[in-house]
Amino acid sequence: MGFFSWQCKGCDESIKAPYGLTEGTQWKNEVVMLMPNGTCISGDYDGYGSIHQPELTVEIEYGSPGEFWHSRCYSNANGPAYTSPSDSALDQGFFDGDPLAGIRIRPDAPKPL
């Protein structure tokens, strides 16, 4: 599976991969994932479907029913319980700011995902 991500339930911005973030946007990489069964997992999102903790990696399948939050947004919302799956991120979690800044699209490039 390629690059994918989700919209944060709190601010409706995407959970970001760790690339290209600045000190001011680093928090967008820290994620909380809630599952319908009550499981709650937090850590850093790698952009390819895994949440990393210091001694644990959690792999998430594309299309999982997870509800995703930025850790900061989740704290600000006082840690609500699971309600529904998060939407897929339109920007796949990669681009912060202008979605076309710093990339070039070639006509023969394979379609993402």
- Residues interacting with Zn ion, by CB under 5 A? 8, 10-11, 70, 73
27: DSSP letter: G
Pairing of strands 56-59, 40-45: unpaired
User: Coil, strand or helix: which one is 71?
Assistant: helix
Q: How far is the CB of 88 from Zn ion (least distance, A)?
A: 15
Q: Which is nearer to Zn ion, 31 or 55 (CB)?
A: 31
Q: Which is nearer to Zn ion, 16 or 60 (CB)?
A: 16
Q: How far is the CB of 110 from Zn ion (least distance, A)?
A: 30
Residue closest to 67 by CA, chosen among 53, 57, 81: 81
Q: Which is nearer to Zn ion, 10 or 47 (CB)?
A: 10
Q: Which is nearer to Zn ion, 8 or 60 (CB)?
A: 8
Q: Which residue is nearest to Zn ion (CB)?
A: 8
Complete DSSP assignment for 35-92: -TTS-EEEEEE-SSSEEEETTEEEE--TT---EEEEHHHHHHTT-PPP-SPPPBPTTT
Q: How far is the CB of 13 from Zn ion (least distance, A)?
A: 6
Q: How far is the CB of 76 from Zn ion (least distance, A)?
A: 8
